[in-house]
Amino acid sequence: MKRLDGKVAIVTGGGGGIGSAVARRMVSEGARVVIADLFEDSALRAAEPLGEAALAVQFDAANPQSVSALVDRVVDHFGRLDVLHNNAAMTDPAKSAQDTTAPDIPIGIWREILDVNLTGYLLGCKYAIPRMIETGGGSIINTASNSGSAGDLARIAYGSSKAAIIGLTRYVATQHGRQNIRCNSIAPGVVLTEALEKTVPGLKEMIQRHILTPEFGTPDDIAALVAFLASDESRYITGENISISGGGLVHQPHYADLLAFMESGD
């Protein structure tokens, strides 16, 4: 008996780095998974190796009709819905580049990012919860970020959306706990994806100074946490925000400088 046997899950942004790892992991643990993404080709690419246990669906997280149709499609195809992993996030590089500071961000970009990253998660909950209740309950896992718990020099809309996801999670957990709906958020720090490898030269090393573990986490590390939260093994955990970031937010801000000073022997 695998711990996700019999469960049906939706992974939004399932064509991406973390989402596709989550889908793989859930299928390996016995679930049937709908890989839902704005880009059909990436959803299909992620679903193809998983055979009949996975279904690729194109949808737009920012569009209420599209999210509602996604949930209907899942229940029509697999007969039930037990797990929702709200994980999609605005990835358009041209738009993300305009996500800067309060005085500079175009208001349209702020709204578009919140529409996908935050309203998209609310919509997932809105349409999934009634279907989960029909079959006895479910588990919702929202991907927040450490950017939702600390400020940064850019990405004010992204960080604000992630902070709000932590609040949304607590509200859903509070309002639907007695209906056997659990809702938790996960907050990755930097995760080693292809995108990080291609980013600003030296950024990876800069960030690595501020994590406590020897290595960066990978999408598979995130997938392991999501699979646990999807399973009944976590049945007493709800409303929590679980950081998965090599201790990125648990130490003093001077940690990296002090460590370098101590290692220099001065």
Ligand X SMILES: NC(=O)c1ccc[n+]([C@@H]2O[C@H](COP(=O)([O-])OP(=O)(O)OC[C@H]3O[C@@H](n4cnc5c(N)ncnc54)[C@H](O)[C@@H]3O)[C@@H](O)[C@H]2O)c1
Q: Which residues are at the interface with ligand X (CB under 6 A)?
A: 12-13, 15-19, 37-39, 42, 59-62, 87-91, 116, 143, 145, 188, 190-191, 193
Contact between residue 106 and residue 98 where contact means Cβ atoms under 8 Å apart: yes
Token reading at 24: 């793989």
127 is catalytic: no
143 phi and psi, to 5 degrees? -85, 105
- 93 neighbors 136 (Cβ within 8 angstroms): no
DSSP string of 33-66? EEEEES-HHHHHHHHGGGGGGEEEEE--TT-HHH
| Nearest to ligand X of 135, 218 (CB atom) | 218
- Smallest distance from ligand X to CB 234, Å: 19
Return the number of the residue (89 or 225) whose C-beta is nearest ligand X.
89
Nearest distance from C-beta of residue 67 to ligand X, angstroms = 9
| Interatomic CA distance for residues 190 and 244, integer angstroms | 9
Indicate the residue among 138 and 159 with the shorter CB distance to ligand X: 159
Kindly report the length of the chain. Answer: 266
The phi, psi pair for 61, rounded to 5°, reads: -60, -25
Least distance (Å) between residue 100 CB and ligand X: 17
Nearest residue (CB) to ligand X, 42 versus 160 = 42
Residue 5 Cβ vs ligand X, minimum distance, rounded to whole Å:
26
253 burial class (0-12, 13-18, 19+ CB within 10 angstroms)? exposed
Residue closest to ligand X, measured at CB: 16
3-state DSSP assignment of residue 188: strand
Cβ proximity of 192 and 205 under 8 Å: no
Minimal distance in Å, beta carbon 187 to ligand X? 7
Q: Token pair 């030269």 is at which residue? A: 201
Exactly one of 158, 171, 236, 255 is catalytic; name it. Answer: 158
Residues 12 and 124: their CA atoms lie apart, in Å, by: 9
So which residues are the catalytic ones? Answer: 158
